[in-house]
């Protein structure tokens, strides 16, 4: 939330300053940057709307709640980045390349660009600080791909693209002044548009993956398997299927092999205890479904891919069902 609010405040102030600079200078790069900041401001508002709507109570029509609203609005942000920011910047830049215009009052443009860099830098620093609390030493590329929180990657991509866009705009204005050719200003606008298109693609790709449903990380899956099999009832995991209903909500479904002599009442108590262990190990596992089955050595599903992934990732041995002791 802090990263979103910081980005919203920075982009709103920057948009006002850039529009004022455009009116004074007539720079195409400044106009594209102003539209970029307006789009970013709208994006942060959309992220806040998504967070608010995701907290609605479950209903009969949506029994798992509305947490995926956050993923939907992140995808909308990607569309906004492309249509409003990228398409407009490229169109206006091509127009200025074909019909170059002189940049007036360049000092105003440079002052606004410098102020924008400072504000965007502060916003990016806040986003990086928030991300560092959850990425646990992972690289930035891995974090953007693996995180189940849609908002932080969006803010990180926006702020990074904004800083690079400001550099392109600065170069466009500078080259226009040095060469006396306004086409360079249009070229800066096109560069900003291409940059935004790239950021929109990455945000859209990651948001789409979350929107259609991503499984828990291999570390989380290993914790669930360990919690299921660490009890006194000698459970063995056959299948494990997980999906993120939201950033802080995980759906867990699993089939377990149980001792054939176990009574139904004892089995119910054992499953309840197993669910408690899962939630202690993985607090975001809000909904858990456990299907018991009798162990059979000739099963066709003893090499379930999800369990193999857990084994490869964490060198967990003997996760597949095996004969019961006693």
Q: Is the pLDDT of residue 280 over 90?
A: yes
Q: Is the pLDDT of residue 80 over 80?
A: no
pLDDT at 295: 65
pLDDT at 253: 93
pLDDT tens digits, one per residue of 300-321: 454 444 444 344 333 333 444 4
Do 172 and 157 meet the contact criterion of CB atoms below 8 Å apart? no
pLDDT at 120: 81
Do 13 and 119 meet the contact criterion of CB atoms below 8 Å apart? yes
Confidence of residue 240 (pLDDT cuts 50, 70, 90): very high
pLDDT at 198: 85
Confidence of residue 167 (pLDDT cuts 50, 70, 90): confident
Mean pLDDT, to the nearest integer, of 240-245? 92
Query: Encoding tokens for residue 131?
Result: 């991300």
pLDDT tens digits, one per residue of 204-233: 888 888 888 888 888 899 999 999 988 888
Cα angle, residue 311 at apex, residues 306 and 316 outer, rounded to 5° = 135
pLDDT at 308: 44
Tell me how far apart the alpha carbons of residues 178 and 181 are, in angstroms, rounded to a whole number.
Answer: 8
In percent, the amount of the chain with pLDDT more than 90 equals 13
pLDDT tens digits, one per residue of 6-42: 778 887 888 888 788 778 777 766 777 777 778 778 8
* pTM more than 0.95: no
Q: Is the pLDDT of residue 104 over 90?
A: no
């Amino acid at each position: 939330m802090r990263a979103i609010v910081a980005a919203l405040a920075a982009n709103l102030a920057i948009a006002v300053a850039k529009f004022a600079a455009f009116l004074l200078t007539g720079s195409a790069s400044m106009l594209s940057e102003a539209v970029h900041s307006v789009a970013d401001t709208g994006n942060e508002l959309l992220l806040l709307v998504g967070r608010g709507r995701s907290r609605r109570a479950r209903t009969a029509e949506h029994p798992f709640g509305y947490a995926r609203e956050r993923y939907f609005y992140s995808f909308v942000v990607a569309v906004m980045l492309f249509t409003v920011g990228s398409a407009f910047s490229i169109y206006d830049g091509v127009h200025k390349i074909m019909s170059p215009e002189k940049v007036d009052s360049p000092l105003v443009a440079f002052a606004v660009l410098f102020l924008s860099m400072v504000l965007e830098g502060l916003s990016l620093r806040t986003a990086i600080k928030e991300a560092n609390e959850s990425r646990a030493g992972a690289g930035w590329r891995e974090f953007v791909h693996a995180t189940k929180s849609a908002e932080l990657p969006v803010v990180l991509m926006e702020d990074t693209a904004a800083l690079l866009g400001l550099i392109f705009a600065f170069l466009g204005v500078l080259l226009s002044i040095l060469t006396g050719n306004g086409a360079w200003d249009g070229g800066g606008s096109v560069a900003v548009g291409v940059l935004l298109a790239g950021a929109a693609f990455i945000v859209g790709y990651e948001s789409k993956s979350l929107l259609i449903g991503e499984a828990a990380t291999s570390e989380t899956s290993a914790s669930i398997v360990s919690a299921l099999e660490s009890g006194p009832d000698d459970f063995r995991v056959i299948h494990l299927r997980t999906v993120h209903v939201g950033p802080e909500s995980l759906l867990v479904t699993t089939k377990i092999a149980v001792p054939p002599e176990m009574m139904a009442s004892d089995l119910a108590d054992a499953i309840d205890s197993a669910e408690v262990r899962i939630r202690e190990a993985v607090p975001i596992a809000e909904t858990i479904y456990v299907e018991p089955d009798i162990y059979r050595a000739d099963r066709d599903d003893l090499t379930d891919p999800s369990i193999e992934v857990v084994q490869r990732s964490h060198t967990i041995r003997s996760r597949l069902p095996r004969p019961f002791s006693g």
